[in-house]
Amino acid sequence: MNVENVYYLNMFLGAGAILLQIFSVVALFVLFLGPKKNNFLSLIDKYYLNLCFIIALLASSFSLVYSEIIGFLPCYLCWYQRVFMFPLVLIFGSAIWHKDRKIVKYTLPLLCIGFIISVYQNFFYYFGEGSSLPCDASGVSCYKQLINVFGGYISFPMLSLSGYLALITIVLVAHFYKKED
């Protein structure tokens, strides 16, 4: 891919990450502080398997696009996050196929572990010293700002954090939202 196409891909994914963050904050706010009956949460609850499948598929696909097509090698923290994201595509896809909505106990541990790794990586990426980020000795470093859009706010770690946050939010809505008849 040429540099211009990579720039547009970065902008597209950055805008998507910001939208996922806004979506997550609004959904969590409405879930815990909003009215008991809500059309927004009902919509999320109704289509939660499809939403989670799409987000997990896009996150997995674009991480592979960056590493295999564009040639941006992931650090080991990114690999650990991939380990917890890739199976979610199969789990959510299988749940859609079998119409099984009771997969929270299978997906939430994967989501939480990936989210914790992502928070850890983001903390060191944005607030740590350049030499303190725990990346391996192969020369792959999270401090190489391969994605740096929206004033440096969007990076690889932030894209991952946004995906995990949105997935956790959707799963929590599907688990805790009770429809009042």
Answer yes or no: is pLDDT of 132 > 70: no
Domain count, the chain: 1
Q: What is the pLDDT confidence band of residue 181, given thresholds at 50, 70 and 90? A: very low
**From start to end of the chain, where are the E strands?**
none
Q: What pLDDT does 140 receive? A: 60
Q: Cα(129)–Cα(42) distance, rounded to whole angstroms?
A: 44
- pTM (two decimals): 0.90
Across 150-161, average pLDDT: 88
Question: Is residue 90 included in any domain, yes or no?
Answer: yes
Residues spanned by the domain of 16: 3-30+38-127+140-176
Answer yes or no: is pLDDT of 37 > 50: yes
Across 138-145, average pLDDT: 62
Residue 157's nearest CA partner among 76, 71, 38, 52 is: 76
Mean pLDDT of the chain: 88
Question: Is residue 148 included in any domain, yes or no?
Answer: yes
